[in-house]
Amino acid sequence: MPRARFQIAIIATTLFVPALRLSAATGEISEVCPLKSAAYDGYTISKLDLEDPTGFLTLFGSRFSALQNGLQLKVHGTFSFDKFNQDNDYLSARMLANFAFSRQRVKFSFARAQIYDCDPSTRTLRVVYAIFSNVASASLGSTIEEQTNEAARPAATGATRAADSGWLVVPLAGYSQTRGSLGGLSFSSQTNGFQIKGESEVSANSQSGHLDLGHPIGAATDFWNSAAWAATYEYLGTPAGAARIEEGKLTARFSASTKESTAVHMIFRYGGVLEGGHQQANDPQAPAGLLQNSAYGSLKLLAGVSGRPGDGAFTASYGLQLGRMMQSGAPTFQKHILDLGYNATFQLPCGAKAPDQEPAGGSGFFKGPLCATVHKSIDLETRWAGGLIVDASGAPLAERFLGGNQVRPFVTDDSWIIQSEPYIRSIRENQMGALSPVAGLGGSRFYSANATIAFHLWGLPMLPGDLAKDPQFLPILNGQFNTALTAIANSNKAKDQKAAGAFAAISKNATELAAAAKNLEDKLPEIPADVASQPATAQVLSSMRSELLNIRFGVPLIVANPNPTTAGTLANQSVPALEANVQKLIASLDAGSQAALASQMQSLLAPVTQSRKAIQASLAQIDSPIYVQQAQETLAPGIRALNVFLHQLNVYSVAPVAIFDVARDWPTGVGTRYAAGGGVRFTLAIANFTLAYAFNPSHNGAEPAGAVYFKLDVVNLFR
């Protein structure tokens, strides 16, 4: 059984409390009042709630409780339809004000008032104002944007946030079939960019721990988007079958990653580790010549890629270790590790769907229909790993492959786990490579493959049923994001020096257009009366004067404020229409024996056309899709997070689980090993608690028939 870590402080404060609070809030809503709101004038208000459907992301009180003082309706007061509407308008106005002045770049707000539990016999009712927004001042709590970033932390979310300025200490407790009952502490602190974190675990027969001091490094465009260094001390002392391994080492680690691609959200990572220390093993069965105890040093190089195409996520990592024992005659050993993984979630049709809420005329950012019941899904988790030690005679026994149901990472780094041992859940920790009385402790080659399937069938969705069924919800939400998209695109235009130059060019060319149009207008009185009075020519002249008037009044507006919409109307509609009418007038003049005047009109038209083309060229630069694309990239984290909330996230869910593993570690004198079994997974928001039993169909007399498997992991749905 792997170490079953119950991170008490984090789980209690970040998952149980918010989920229970949301369940309690939504559970009170029993029945929407059937009549129009005005019919309940004079009823007594038994309760008045401001509910935040995303309140589970804010741990310490409602983000909107301060708004309640501004409401006209009061608890135990008399219900008034007029005041009810005024309160709804007040909340909407406050949300719009926060929307306008918030520095958050992903913004959306939605306020809706409803009445529930109307009792004609007692003439009482309950008023609920539902507010769905990520726009709030700092005093009202954090936003979904901030939570999205925090969700990337392994310990997610609020307890870590609350302790950023000080120490966060988390007790650890668990049980392992190899180590027995164990306990310990996890701790971390961040000050002036430096992060100190560590962990220690102690049982009756084992001790392990590590202490890290790290600091991030700013982006370097040609090399990395994010990077960090860390200095670490690590210690491990644990049983391995009848033997025991111990090591203590100091490491210096550097890791970096590229910017995430927009297509499949792929990131390339790389790094290196220098380490030195002492490794020893107490293995009475080890063949003569195998090194057991010595100081050693090594260099580890790592490279990997991870991505999230569609509903799945993949990872591929390679690790190379070059190490040497500090003993004469010991060769330099090489360790090669390959670790591959693919996880996917397949959404299943839910039992009850809300009406289709697609906005008219388009699909928008968020699509319906929404589920009014639990979000059902199938989780598929797979992992493949393999390793090889070259010149294994020069490697200490503690570096050989042991295997079992505990993952031993190639490098101690919470953000990048590379599996460096054969992983099989039917065999206890460090037992797989400690079974042969001939070959001794551990192997020099291994492979393993693991699959876990979980069917989430029962539970409670995070999205309240009222919002799922509200036909206005998705259209309003999409409208807010469209507004944000336009605002961000315009902000990007204003900051772009290229766009600023284009705006200046529009003003300059509009001034030249006005002068050219004035010259053309001044020439019109020279047209002979007999030609100008002809019906066709008179109609052309009337249209020309109207278009010249548009230019005369439009150009000063553009010069004062080169708005792309105004400039586009002028350059793409008014001026082309003027040019077409001038060509018709020139044809009429030629037919009326006014060739010289027609030639002058043609010459006067040329600068009008030239100015129009220059304005259109500048507009093409300003209306480049790059600004919309940049805005979409800015909005993408918020859109991903909300889509998870709308279509995947449950307050809790229960799922049966099936597991299957295959692994081999050699030369140990033992063949391929298998594990098959099942259990149950309880998911609370983003935390998975999996309990299962893995059978060992090829066990020998010295081994148990299988092993209990427990795993607690916090998944990152929001990236």
Per-residue pLDDT averaged across 347-370, rounded? 66
pLDDT in tens, 437-448: 555 678 889 999
141 with 227, same domain: the answer is no
pLDDT in tens, 504-529: 888 888 888 889 888 988 888 888 88
- Among candidate residues 618, 624, 648, 671, the one with its CA nearest the CA of residue 718: 648
Let me know whether 565 and 697 are in one domain: no
| pLDDT the model gives residue 319 | 96
| Residue-level pLDDT at 675 | 93
Mean pLDDT highest for which of 238-247, 249-258, 475-484, 613-622? 249-258
Q: How many helices (H) and strands (E) does the chain have?
A: 14, 20
Q: Binning pLDDT at 50, 70 and 90, where does residue 87 land?
A: confident
DSSP code of 260? P
Residue 293 — pLDDT band, cuts 50, 70, 90? confident
Q: How far is CA 71 from the centre of its chain?
A: 35
Could you tell me what percent of the chain has a pLDDT over 90? 18
Q: Which helix (H) or strand (E) holds 635?
A: helix 625-647
Q: Which CATH number characterizes residue 694's domain?
A: 2.40.160.50
Is 273 contained in some domain? yes
Pairwise pLDDT comparison (584 vs 629), residue with the higher score: 584
Q: How far apart are CA 520 and CA 575, in angstroms?
A: 12
Poorest-pLDDT segment among 202-211, 247-256, 295-304, 683-692: 683-692
In angstroms, the CA 116 to CA 119 distance is: 9
CA–CA dist 21, 34 (Å, integer): 27
pTM of the model: 0.61
Identify whether residues 137 and 168 lie together within a single domain. no
User: Among residues 67, 25, 711, 43, which one has the least CA distance to residue 406?
Assistant: 711
pLDDT at 58: 40
Tell me if 634 is assigned to some domain. no
pLDDT of residue 664: 92
Domain CATH code at residue 86? 3.10.20.310
Please report the beta strands in 569-703, taking only residues with DSSP state E, as ranges in sequence order.
650-666, 673-684, 687-695
Number of domains the chain contains: 3
pLDDT of residue 213: 92
Distance CA 668, CA 659 (A): 25
Give bridge partners of residue 411 from the DSSP assignment.
Answer: none
- For 420-462, the pLDDT digits (tens) are 999 998 888 888 876 655 556 788 899 999 999 999 989 888 8
Tell me whether the omega of the peptide bond preceding residue 667 falls within 30 degrees of 0, making it cis.
yes
DSSP-based helix, strand, coil % in the chain, nearest 5 = 35, 35, 30
**Structure confidence at residue 589 (pLDDT):** 84
pLDDT of residue 3: 44
Residues 284 and 187 in one domain: yes
CATH number, position 587: 1.20.140
Q: Which stretches of 108-257 are assigned E, i.e. beta strand?
A: 109-119, 124-133, 167-176, 180-191, 194-203, 207-217, 226-240, 243-257
Per-residue model confidence (pLDDT) at position 112: 67
Q: Whole-angstrom Cα distance, residue 24 to residue 632?
A: 36
pLDDT (tens digit, 9 = 90+) per residue, 58-83? 433 444 555 676 788 888 999 998 88
Residue 70, pLDDT score: 72
**Model confidence at 334: pLDDT above 60:** yes
- Please report whether residue 638 resides in a domain: no
Q: In what order do the strands lie in the sheet with 44-51?
A: 44-51, 124-133, 109-119
Instruction: Report the amino acid identity of residue 118.
Output: C
**What local confidence, expressed as pLDDT, does residue 706 receive?**
86
Residues paired with 626 in a beta bridge: none
* 258 and 337 co-located in one domain: yes
What is the predicted pLDDT for the residue at 340? 94
Average pLDDT over residues 289-297: 74
Angle between helix 625-647 and helix 473-495 axes, rounded to 10 deg: 150
* pLDDT at residue 95 tops 50: yes
Structure tokens at 532: 């100008």
Question: Model confidence at 14, in pLDDT bands (50, 70, 90)?
Answer: very low
Q: Are 355 and 469 in contact (CB under 8 A)?
A: yes
Q: Which residue has the higher pLDDT, 56 or 406?
A: 406
Do 383 and 525 belong to one domain?
A: no
Listed range (102-116, 243-257, 501-515) with the worst mean pLDDT: 102-116
Q: What does the alpha-carbon distance between residue 513 and residue 574 come to, in Å, rounded to a whole number?
A: 12
For 333: left if phi > 0, alpha if psi spans -120 to 50, otherwise beta; the answer is: beta
Residue 351 has what pLDDT? 64
Q: Do residues 64 and 185 both lie within one domain?
A: no
Pick from 181-190, 287-296, 298-307, 495-504: least confident: 287-296
DSSP label of 173: E
Q: Is residue 290 predicted with pLDDT exceeding 70?
A: no
Angle separating helix axes 575-591 and 595-622, nearest 10 degrees: 170
- Which residues, 6+ apart, have CB-to-CB distance to 700 below 8 Å? 435
Listed in sequence order, the residues at least 6 apart from 276 whose beta carbon sits closer than 8 Å to its beta carbon are 249, 250, 295, 296, 297, 298
pLDDT, residue 162, reads 31
Cβ-based neighbour number of residue 529 at 10 Å = 6
Question: Mean pLDDT of all residues in the chain?
Answer: 77
77 and 131 inside one domain:
yes
Residue 416: inside a domain:
yes
When mean pLDDT is compared across 287-296, 325-334, 612-621, the lowest value belongs to 287-296
pLDDT > 80? residue 41: yes
Q: With a cut of 80, say whether residue 237 has pLDDT above it.
A: yes
Distances 501 to 332, 613, 617, 618, 621 between C-alpha atoms, Å: 62, 16, 12, 9, 10
CB 675 within 8 A of CB 427: yes
Position 138 scores a pLDDT of 31
Q: Are residues 134 and 167 in the same domain?
A: no
Q: What is the rounded average pLDDT of the residues 43-57?
A: 71
| Residue 5: pLDDT band with limits 50, 70, 90 | very low
Q: Which residues in 331-477 belong to E strands, given as ranges? A: 333-347, 377-390, 445-456, 458-461
Tell me the mean pLDDT in the region 675-700: 86
32 has a pLDDT exceeding 60: yes
Pairing of strands 124-133, 44-51: parallel
Q: What pLDDT is attached to residue 662?
A: 96
Cα distance from N-terminal residue to C-terminal residue, the chain: 30
Establish if 688 belongs to a structural domain.
yes
The CA angle 51-53-58, to the nearest 5 degrees, is: 90
Picking from 145, 171, 193, the residue at the C-terminal end of a domain is: 145
Contact 688, 653 (CB under 8 A): no
Q: What is the pLDDT of residue 18?
A: 34
472, part of any domain: no
* 134/173 same-domain check: no
Confidence of residue 154 (pLDDT cuts 50, 70, 90): very low
- Whether the CB-CB separation of 70 and 89 falls below 8 Å is answered with no
Q: Show the CA angle centred on residue 595, arms to residues 589 and 599, nearest 5°.
A: 95
Encoded amino acid at 476, one letter: I
Tokens for 486, please give them.
Answer: 């336009």
> 34 and 118 share a domain?
yes
Nearest to 251 by CA among 296, 281, 185: 296
The H or E element that residue 707 is part of is strand 706-714
Q: What is the pLDDT of residue 105?
A: 39
Q: Which two tokens stand for residue 348?
A: 């299943």
Sole residue written with tokens 């990997």 = 304
* 313 and 231 within one domain: yes
Inside any domain, residue 470: no
Q: Which residues of 286-312 are buried (b: 16+ CB within 10 A; e: fewer)?
A: beeebbbeeebebebebebbbbbeeee
In the numeric block, which tokens belong to residue 719?
């990236």
Q: What is the pLDDT of residue 43?
A: 93
Q: Quick check: 304 pLDDT over 80?
A: yes
Mean pLDDT of 527-538: 85
CB 638 within 8 A of CB 144: yes
Is the residue at 477 inside a domain?
Answer: no
Name the residue range of residue 68's domain.
8-145
Look at residue 227 and tell me whether its pLDDT is greater than 70.
yes
Final residue in a domain of this structure, among 111, 145, 179: 145
Question: Rounded distance, CA 230 to CA 211, Å?
Answer: 10
pLDDT for 382 equals 93
What pLDDT sits at residue 79? 92
- Cα separation, 67 vs 595, in Å, equals 76
